[in-house]
Amino acid sequence: MKYLEYSVADRIGYITLNRPDKRNALNHDVVAELKEAFTKAESDSAVKVVVLRANGESFCAGADLAYLQQLQKFSFDENVADSAHLKELFEKIYKLKKVVIAQVQGNAIAGGCGLACVCDFVISASDARFGYTEVKIGFIPAIVMVFLLRKIGEGHAKRLLLSGDLISANEAQAIGLIQKVVPSEKLNDEVNALALQLITSNSAHAMMLTKQMIAEVQSMSLNDSLLYAAKKNAEARGSEDCKRGIAAFLNKEKIIW
């Protein structure tokens, strides 16, 4: 891959943005490589948890300036197709069958903040900043808005999306955008510790079903969501992981997944 690095160690799949000279900004090709990398990680039997990270000082600064200039020449239909390309990436990460942890340093801005938002966990360096600056250039954070409203609610989302202001990592944690803030020198260790905890303590199948339910039930009526939940409950009970886990619990045995 030209813009990414993909590696696996200790059942962790690492997808690393590698455009440090461009602050890991997004363009059509970067988005295409990210979709390819997440598809690869999802089907990679050696991977149980995925970490999205970046080389350089910034996690991701949003859209590449040259790419923004190119979009000015697109027709409406071409822009719809290009928007769908980004939508597919965000949806792929959000619905991925494996847990995704974002490791953020520096700035996560606009589409870069969107990338972090759709991950299941976000661990950030204390000096990182987050925000959606699209309104400042006459644009809108349309696609990520769908996920952001689910994640932090209308009040916090309105403040971020309408102001275009950047917020600190601590404030991002306070509103639920990210889960944990650590000193920059401890960022790698904290991310790896969380990944290894999920890998050894939790069933991959159970995490997959839980993630799937979180994505689906929010758009259902109460009755439909409960019927769906009952079916998922039955599906989980019949799984080999559940049988193995319950047997270990009853026998007071420590289970390593």
Residue 183 token pair = 């000193």
Residue 50 token pair = 């995925």
134 is catalytic: yes
Give the type of residue at 207: M
Dist. CA 28–CA 123, nearest whole Å? 26
Handedness of CA 226, 227, 228, 232 (dihedral sign): positive
Give the type of residue at 33: E
Catalytic residue among 36, 134, 235, 240: 134
Beta strands in the chain (DSSP E): 4-9, 12-17, 49-54, 99-104, 107-109, 121-125, 129-131, 166-168, 180-182
> Contact at 8 Å (CB) between 27 and 67?
yes
53: phi > 0 → left, psi -120 to 50 → alpha, else beta; which?
beta
Handedness of CA 94, 153, 225, 229 (dihedral sign): positive
**Which active-site residues does the annotation give?**
134
